[in-house]
Every structure is written in C-alpha cells, then in structure tokens.
Chain A
C-alpha cells in the first residue's frame, strides 16, 4: 500500500486524511446539531468543549493535508470524463477545502467573541481570535452556521458525484479513494 499517490490512485496518507476528516465532520455535525438546544448544564459545557476540541483537530488535520497534497500528484481523471465535469469537480474540491478551513476558524472566532475558553481536550489552552465582543458574537455564529449549510449542500454534490461515478459510470473514482490504486494498474 503506497504512501504517496500515483496516476492510478490515491496514496494511503491522502485516503487517511480524507476518511478521518470525513468521519470527524460527521461527528461534529451530530454533536453541533444536538448541543445547541441543551439547557445550561455541565453536560452542555462538556459537549461544547468536545465540539471545539474536535473542530480544532479538524483544522490542524486540514492544514497538514494541504501541506501533504502540495507535494503530491493527483490521479488522472477517467478518460471518458468531459471537461466541464473535471472543472466542476475541481471547483467543488477547492470549495470543500476552503470550507473545512473556514468552518473551524469561524467557530474559533465565535468562541472568542463569546468570551469562552478554548482548551484542546482539556489539555492545551489555545488563544482567542480577538476578545469577547457581544457585537460580533451573533455574526460569527451566523457565519459558522451559514458555512456549515454551504458545506452540507456541497457534500450532497460531492457524495452524489462519487456514487454516480461508482454505480452509473462504473469507473475507479470512488474505489481509488477507498482502496488506492486498482490492482490491474499495479501499485507503482
């Protein structure tokens, strides 16, 4: 299982980044949607602290992922794929990267404007992005929620396109993100 990506498939590290971040985003969505209605209890404080810690982890992973991707080739697109689809795929991927960077940052900003502490898994204290600010607090929250809504919409396209490639086009686009390079092409 090669660590680096090849023309035929994604390397193990890119796939690990992809699925780990995907899983964490799913967990964040479940926590985020369920925590907002909670009453003010220690449980709510803990759940918020967990959401913040996972969010900061995602941010760090995305930065590492971008750094790693910058030294990686990307597998070639299926030959049958028209130009507009290649362009649309690149645009959606770029937007997804932008969002998974911007969403943790907007949450971080909202947390700071709320004057709330940010201690990564109760262990590492992170600085605020600006201090307590009742004016910007609701605006930062609105930004955070809007970006999440946009991410959800783009994920419908992203997941839909992956399933379409796999079940309708019957090409390797999803398989090479699951298992890397297909066997018939060799491992390189």
Chain B
C-alpha cells in the first residue's frame, strides 16, 4: 500500500499549484474606473496592465494578486481629458509611470463576500486598499471581477487647486474584469 500513498501525496502537492496560477486573457480583460466631473459620471480604463493571479476559492490563504498598471495607457474616451489627467496636476505619468497593487491577505466577510486586502502604490503614495472579489470558474477558465473604492485625494491626484470634490469627485470606483485561463 505504500506506492499508491506516495502517488496520492505527489498529486495533492502538485494540485494546488496547478489550480491556483492563472493566465490572464488581456484581450478580454478590462481595468476600468468611474469618477465624476462637475457631478457628471464618466468612465475610463487603463489599456495596459499585467496581473499575476494565484487564486483558488477553496484555499484563500494561498491566494495572491499582483497587478502593475501602465498609467500612460489611460483612456477616458476623450483625448483632451486623457492629456490633462496624465499631467503633473493629476496622475503625473511622467514621474509615476506605474501603479501597483499587491494583496496581503484574503478573507471572507460576514455576508460571504471574498475580500482581498492589499496595498496600492499610486502616484508614489502607498495606501491600504480592499478589493471585493467575485470569482466564477468555468471549467479550465474563470472570470474574476474585483471592485474597490478609492479616494483620489488620498493619492494626491489633483490635490491643490483641483481638490474641490464638486468639480472632480474624490471617490473613484475601480472595477477590474479579468478573464482567466488555467495556467501551469
């Protein structure tokens, strides 16, 4: 009975690694956000980002997200707004070309939602941010929807003369929609 036991152990040891690591299908994934300008909502997205996703809903202790965003890939569907938002008063893409979010711990809330605590470094400022995680497996692929509420002024985006939240809303809702393929 010894040999089958070893085989089973090997399989168990290998299985989590196989099940957790995902490849992101970037062509079908989006990293979008919503903010308000003069109280009117608009949406934007970052066209280029990389995400390392290790996630098994049955093993949250091993889960990890590491996302790097190319700030200059901002697209708010309006060239003038993109140009202004990337300037020194706002995202300052020349000085801070990347934003990065790394999870620190996953846990389930009282109502069964999965929450991912992490740190977001944006415009050179690092703050704790919590994502709400919705993971839906479909065989060898899966969709991962994450949302987070940020405050732009926490990260010094449009601080100073543009700080008035009635002109540019302080609250920013981030929504990531990732299509995942089983990795190896």
Contact = CB atoms under 8 A, between A and B. Distances in A.
Interface of A: 40-42, 45-46, 49, 114-115, 117, 119, 122, 125, 132, 134
B84 A40 contact: yes
A49 B38 contact: yes
Given A42-B161, A42-B162, A119 B38 contact: yes
A119 B40 CA distance: 8
Given A42-B161, A42-B167, A115 B39 contact: no
A132 B77 contact: yes
Contacts of B107: none
Nearest to B164: A42
Nearest to A41: B161
Contacts, number: 30
B78 A132 contact: yes
Interface string B75-94: 00111110010000000000
A115 B166 CA distance: 18
Interface string B29-40: 000000001111
B90 to A, nearest CB: 11
Contacts of A132: 77-78
A134 B83 CA distance: 14
A125 to B, nearest CB: 6
20 contacts: A41-B161, A42-B162, A42-B164, A45-B38, A45-B167, A46-B167, A49-B38, A114-B80, A115-B77, A115-B78, A117-B38, A117-B40, A119-B39, A119-B40, A122-B38, A122-B39, A125-B39, A125-B40, A132-B78, A134-B79
Q: Which interface class (under 10, 10 to 19, 20 to 34, 35 or more) fits B?
A: 10 to 19
A121 B166 CA distance: 12
Nearest to B161: A42
A45 B168 CA distance: 11
Contacts of B81: 115
B164 to A, nearest CB: 6
Contacts of A114: 80
Nearest to B83: A40
Q: Considering the complex of A and B, which 4 residue pairs feature the smallest CB-CB distances, nearest first?
A: A117-B40, A117-B38, A115-B78, A42-B161
Contacts of A46: 167
B161 A117 contact: no
Nearest to A123: B39
B31 to A, nearest CB: 21
B169 to A, nearest CB: 12
B164 A122 contact: no
Contacts of B38: 45, 49, 117, 119, 122
A120 to B, nearest CB: 11
Contacts of A45: 38, 167
Given A42-B161, A42-B162, A45-B38, 9 more contacts: A45-B167, A115-B77, A117-B39, A119-B38, A119-B39, A119-B40, A122-B38, A125-B40, A134-B79
Contacts of A119: 38-40
